[in-house]
């Protein structure tokens, strides 16, 4: 690996092919680059200097795609090149989820369709996974024999309770509950030992000593929930370039009714709404090299955008790998994301996270004294491997809906504005997934997620002050935009951003700060027609 990195660095310095092919000093002495080595070095034009530096620092981190032939590589480079023609839709743009794109009627179930290219047998597996995703877990002991183990402290009784119709969650509004939004609790390292754990990526951060990693407002009978999230909003008027006034609501968070004592003074509260589930399996099969090629932590190209990866430990292999999922890219795989949700949200143990009492802490003894739902004949955890297999498969194969209105002039004009305002600097339009994906349904698919899946400083306005792995309190992963225009149809609301503070897409854009400030300012300075066109483009995704 380090030999390849050395060759790449030679190429990056402008060395000629003859110079690049000179012997390289390796750990075992000199070696002469082969044709394949030089072919890899030829990919330097697609990699950022920061990506090379990162590859040199972390063993086995891919600096180039290893799954493609030279012919494939040329095809991928050509098809993913940003467009400059906004007079008509791009080829394959309608099918934003590749061959798995759902072409079914757009209705409230638009996010709950299976990938169109899975087999008949896999469709049965998908339906079984859907049944588990929807089922309500109950407290122990019970007569169900396969559904007990809830909590004892929890945020939801079912996966579907948080991921409403597999779509986007919302903050509590009026009499609505807070099931699809909760508070993450975390503090920074306070001892040398904890600092060492953080430095070695053994932990993402440290939970509150009493209330754990997230506030759980629900509990099984006989036990008190931890407390209730309280949100207050302050309206902030913003005047756009044409004189239009938009009001943004700035939230503040607190906890009422704490049942087990005070929260630690260093604990931060970070609100999170549940994101849409569509396209996760495709995102999982984007080659890491394609994401790392966009890394530019020092903004060497001077565009004001400094994307960074969140490198995290895979819970099963222990290897340092690229985080892809979650609001701060803190999770490397769908299976691990599912296991974390089972434990933290519902209080169900899995082979990946065998926490029978969920997020209960030693300070919550009354929680730990309650029975768990392990059935020995089914395994040593409450949701054994077959359950995890089904839920993971279901989550990997929720289809992305087809685009709409892509030929309409306002949508094309809005797409042009999206590019010219600089939105694509973070919201990368398209990728081609791995040739060697485990499931053919996700293999070598042209997809349009509109995300680079990297961390970006979004400014003080959106900061939560909570570090998660390599992500700082100001940084967030660029969220994918596919399906965003169907949020109201599926979920009955238009609340956006990590905490749902934005009541529509215009407000969401105006909250962008930090690395998103330039694009935000261009949007704010544009005329009403151009702004409306950009919104229509987003609504077509």
Q: What is the pLDDT of residues 395-416, one digit of tens each?
A: 999 999 999 999 999 999 999 9
- Do both 97 and 12 map to the same domain? no
Reported as a single tens digit per residue, the pLDDT across 328-337 is 999 999 999 9
Helices and strands (H, E) in the chain, number of each type: 18, 14
Sign of CA dihedral 487, 490, 493, 499: negative
- For residues 479-496, average pLDDT: 97
d(CA 391, CA 368): 27
Confirm whether 63 is domain-assigned.
Answer: no
3-state secondary structure 309-355: CCEEECCCCCCEEECCECCCCCECCHHHHHHHHHHHHHCCCCCCCCC
With 90 as the cut, is the pLDDT of residue 42 above it? Answer: no
Reported as a single tens digit per residue, the pLDDT across 162-174 is 999 999 999 987 6
With 70 as the cut, is the pLDDT of residue 3 above it? Answer: no
- Do both 482 and 532 map to the same domain? yes
Q: Nearest-CA neighbor of 79 among 98, 52, 100?
A: 98
- Do both 13 and 80 map to the same domain? no
Distance from CA of residue 58 to its chain's centroid? 22
Distance from CA of residue 379 to its chain's centroid? 31
- Do both 250 and 167 map to the same domain? yes
- Do both 108 and 23 map to the same domain? no
Confirm whether 345 is domain-assigned.
Answer: yes
| Domain's final residue, options 352, 371, 392 | 392
Confirm whether 59 is domain-assigned.
Answer: no
**Angle between helix 385-396 and helix 334-341 axes, rounded to 10 deg:** 120
- Do both 302 and 449 map to the same domain? yes
Provide the number of structural domains found in the chain. Answer: 3
- Is residue 408 within 8 Å of 45, Cβ to Cβ? no
Q: Note the pLDDT of residue 146.
A: 82
Q: Is 0.85 surpassed by the pTM of this model?
A: yes
Confirm whether 64 is domain-assigned.
Answer: no
- Do both 31 and 97 map to the same domain? no
């Amino acid at each position: 690996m380090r030999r390849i990195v050395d060759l790449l660095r030679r190429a990056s310095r402008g060395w000629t092919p003859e110079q690049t092919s000179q012997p390289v000093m390796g750990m075992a002495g000199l070696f002469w680059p082969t044709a394949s080595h030089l072919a890899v070095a030829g990919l330097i034009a697609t990699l950022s200097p920061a990506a090379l530096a990162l590859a040199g620092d972390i063993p086995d981190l891919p600096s180039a795609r290893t799954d493609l032939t030279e012919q494939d590589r040329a095809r991928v480079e050509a098809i993913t090149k940003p467009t400059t023609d906004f007079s008509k839709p791009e080829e394959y743009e309608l099918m934003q989820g590749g061959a798995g794109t759902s072409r079914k009627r757009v209705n409230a179930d638009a996010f709950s369709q299976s990938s169109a290219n899975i087999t008949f047998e896999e469709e049965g597996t998908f339906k079984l996974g859907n049944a588990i995703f929807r089922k309500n877990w109950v407290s122990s002991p019970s007569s169900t024999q396969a559904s007990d183990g809830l909590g004892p402290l929890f945020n939801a009784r079912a996966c579907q309770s948080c991921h409403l119709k597999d779509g986007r969650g919302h903050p509590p509004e009026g009499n609505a509950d807070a099931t699809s939004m909760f508070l993450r609790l975390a503090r920074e390292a306070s001892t040398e030992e904890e600092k060492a754990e953080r430095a070695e990526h053994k932990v993402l951060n440290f939970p509150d000593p009493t209330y754990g990693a997230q506030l759980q407002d629900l509990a099984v009978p006989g036990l008190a929930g931890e407390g209730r999230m309280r949100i207050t909003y302050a309206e902030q008027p913003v005047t756009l370039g044409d004189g239009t006034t938009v009001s943004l609501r700035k939230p503040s968070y607190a906890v009422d009714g704490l049942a087990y004592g005070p929260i630690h003074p260093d604990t931060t509260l970070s609100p999170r709404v549940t994101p849409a589930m569509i396209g996760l399996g495709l995102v999982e099969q984007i080659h890491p090299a394609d994401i790392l090629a966009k890394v530019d932590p020092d903004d060497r190209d001077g565009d004001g955008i400094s994307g960074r990866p969140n490198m995290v430990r895979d819970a099963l292999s222990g290897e340092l790998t690229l985080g892809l999922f979650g609001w701060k890219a803190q999770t490397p795989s769908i299976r691990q994301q599912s296991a974390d949700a089972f434990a933290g949200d519902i209080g169900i143990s899995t082979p990946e996270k065998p926490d029978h009492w969920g997020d209960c802490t030693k300070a919550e003894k009354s929680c730990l004294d309650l029975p768990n739902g392990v059935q020995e004949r089914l395994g040593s955890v409450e949701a054994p491997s077959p359950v995890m297999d089904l839920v993971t498969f279901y989550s990997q194969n929720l289809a992305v809906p087809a685009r709409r209105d892509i030929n309409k002039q306002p949508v094309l004009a809005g797409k042009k504005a999206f590019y010219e305002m600089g939105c694509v600097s973070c919201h990368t339009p398209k990728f081609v997934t791995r040739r060697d994906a485990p499931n053919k349904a996700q293999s070598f698919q042209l997809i349009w997620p509109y995300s680079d899946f990297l961390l970006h400083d979004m400014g003080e306005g959106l900061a939560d002050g909570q570090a998660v792995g390599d992500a700082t309190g100001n940084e967030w992963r660029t969220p994918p935009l596919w399906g965003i225009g169907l949020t109201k149809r599926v979920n009955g609301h238009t609340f956006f951003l990590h905490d749902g503070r934005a009541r529509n897409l215009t407000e969401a854009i105006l909250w962008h700060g930090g690395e998103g400030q330039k694009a935000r300012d261009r949007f704010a300075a544009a005329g009403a027609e151009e702004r409306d066109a950009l919104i229509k483009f987003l609504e077509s995704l």
